[in-house]
Amino acid sequence: MAHELNETARAIVADHKGILAADESTGTIKKRFDSIGVESTEESRRFYRQLLFTAPGMEDCIGGVILYDETIRQSADDGTPLAEVLAAKGAIPGIKVDTGAHDHALHPGEKITEGLDGLRARLEEYRELGARFAKWRAVITIGAGIPSVACIRANAHALARYAALCQEAGIVPIVEPEVLMDADNTIERCYEVTSRTLKWTFHELHVQGVDLHGTLLKPNMVISGKGCAAQASGGEIARLTVDCFLNHVPAAVPGIVFLSGGQTEVQATENLNEINRIGGPWPLSFSYGRALQQSALQAWGGEVANTEEAQAAFVHRARMNALAAGGDWNAELEQPVAA
């Protein structure tokens, strides 16, 4: 089982491939659809995800796709389960298993991710449905007097328990401790909080007996808060990110797949490219949601006739990020793409 988990984790990030995060909750994807004037129904959500998953050439750049509970139970137009559609293209199906971030008791302004109750049974079902990896997102907020030690340690403990249950079920856990970039903090403050978060996360993974060779890490980049007056350059983001991860992430981890954290599509690609120009002992790739989908969503606009244009926009972004995962991207490649 350990060998199988390691092989799965490595396959997801092989050849500079990354992950499409298509695990938006029903509420979140409604907001995405609202932005383009499309009603969010089970059928519209199914069609949109099918559009992405069947895009010609996506499998050249996407090694894994994170699904939502609704999506892993849905099928393509021809009746093939969407998880099987992905597997047939060589993109490994995954599943979001946490039940969201909720207020952390006695810690105002902080969140704790829930979903451990009943997780063992849910993982068994998801594996039967085709999932070979899973995702659990912890949220760490920077603010006045926060994050607290209690918040960081509680979320790290939950991540480790989730990871252990995943490996027991033969599923690769993506461990996602996200330090949010929504505040006005400096990049140095982000570095400090990310360092503490990673330190406790890997301590708890060790305590719970999680085999790091069968995991993937999905972290934030070390970056300035959105409200910070002095935004760090791509070079500084790359330098501090790699330095932070060299200090805290064991080389045994088969891959690091960064989240985009609200960056624009091109910003997320550019910063990933800068990070890979420095590099480290792990593949440094991507697990993006909006930063892979925004252009495709706009091109689609809810119209079946726009399917090819939307697919081309999605595959373009996937290719740009695959290039960035090898440190080979440049801005001249960002040209308008026709279907």
110, 176, 204, 270: which one is catalytic?
176
Total residue length of the chain: 339
Tokens of 131: 């999932």
CA atoms within 13 A on the CB side of 205: 28
DSSP letter for each residue of 39-107? ---HHHHHHHHHHHHT-TTGGGTEEEEEE-HHHHT-B-TTS-BHHHHHHHHTPEEEEE----EEEPTT-
- Specify burial of residue 177 (Cβ count, 10 A radius: 0-12, 13-18, 19+): buried
Tokens of 299: 């091109």
Ordered alpha helix ranges (H), the chain = 2-12, 26-34, 42-53, 69-72, 82-89, 119-128, 149-168, 187-207, 234-248, 265-278, 290-300, 307-324
Which residues face 146 on adjacent strands? Answer: 143
96, 218, 265, 270: which one is catalytic?
218
In contact, 131 and 94? CB cutoff 8 Å: yes
Known catalytic residue at 176? yes
φ, ψ dihedrals at 53, nearest 5°: -70, -25
Known catalytic residue at 31? no
In contact, 10 and 255? CB cutoff 8 Å: yes
Catalytic center residues: 176, 218
